[in-house]
Amino acid sequence: MSTDWAAHDVSVRAHYGTNLSATSRIRHVLTAAITAGEIAPGVRLKEMDLGQQLGVSRTPLREAIASLKAEGILSTGDDGGLRVRILAYHDIHTLYELRAELESMAAGLAATHASPAEREFIADIRTKEAALVDKGTSPVALAKLNGQFHQSIALASDNPFLIEALQRLSTLMVLLGPTAYSLSSRVREIGTEHDAINNAIQSSDPAAARQAAQTHLQNAVKARLQIIAAGYKENLD
């Protein structure tokens, strides 16, 4: 799969603004390419090639690479080569197990502590998501709104340490490639699950919010493994 660096650059500038530092812009562009599945896990990346393809100088590129290595997105192999980190089957399961525990905790806390403004914001995101689904919006756009939905719940938990932990997990999610919204059968299911979480938070029902989030993440890992298995089969064909 080829990488459309120019398209990712335009998207990054549109989303984050034009005042990004070169290092931040490169980091976001590389992350977008990994998330899109255009740079597969384990593929060796050559710094010189990346610099030419992105049209950037060595210093900000190296700074962006160092940042992604610190976040666990890129790694250095035994041969010294730079690669996108590979998550094993077990890693994916344990990542989602942790997400399920932390996000269910966040949902329960949000149901208890969220302010009226935070509850309104969460509900508004869910309304926007439903409208985009009805319009047949692209999986990438839906995934961005999905990220906002989960982030808004984390912020409403009013627990800074939990928020920090979930941000770390969110960063690692880029290693899993294409979003679950790429499964047409999953799109409406996600909306239904988000409704259950949102309704529990609006009703100030922490037990229901925790259970709804647990169910959502259990279904999410099944969908994720289905996507990964399909990609593996495609590579064999």
Q: What CATH number corresponds to the domain at position 98?
A: 1.20.120.530
Are 94 and 77 within one domain? Answer: no
> Is the pLDDT confidence value at 136 over 70?
yes
Are 60 and 175 within one domain? Answer: no
Are 19 and 48 within one domain? Answer: yes
Are 43 and 128 within one domain? Answer: no
| pLDDT tens figures, 171-186 | 888 888 767 888 888 9
**Total number of domains in the chain:** 2
**Where does a domain end: 48, 67, 84?**
84
> Could you list the residue range(s) of the whole structural domain that residue 101 is in?
89-236
- Regarding pTM above 0.85, the answer is no
| pLDDT tens figures, 9-34 | 888 888 788 888 999 999 988 988 88
Whole-number percent of the chain with pLDDT over 90: 53
CATH for 77: 1.10.10.10
Q: Which tokens in the block code for residue 132? A: 């985009």
**Where does a domain end: 84, 103, 120?**
84
Are 175 and 67 within one domain? Answer: no
Write 162-170 long-range contacts (CB < 8 A, 24+).
162/102, 162/105, 162/106, 162/109, 163/106, 165/102, 166/99, 166/102, 166/103, 166/106, 169/95, 169/98, 169/99, 169/102
| pLDDT tens figures, 179-211 | 788 888 899 999 999 999 999 999 999 999 999
Q: Is the dihedral of CA 200, 201, 207, 211 positive or negative?
A: positive
Are 93 and 77 within one domain? Answer: no
Are 204 and 127 within one domain? Answer: yes
**Where does a domain end: 84, 108, 140?**
84
pLDDT, the chain, mean: 88
Return the pLDDT at 233.
39
| pLDDT tens figures, 83-123 | 998 888 888 889 999 999 999 999 999 999 999 999 999 99
Are 104 and 210 within one domain? Answer: yes
> Is the pLDDT confidence value at 236 over 80?
no
Return the pLDDT at 231.
60
Position with higher pLDDT, 215 vs 7? 215
Position with higher pLDDT, 2 vs 49? 49
Are 74 and 94 within one domain? Answer: no
Are 32 and 104 within one domain? Answer: no
Are 119 and 50 within one domain? Answer: no
Task: Please say whether the beta carbons of 3 and 53 come within 8 A.
Answer: yes
Greatest extent of the chain over all pairs of C-alpha atoms, in Å: 55
Are 145 and 36 within one domain? Answer: no
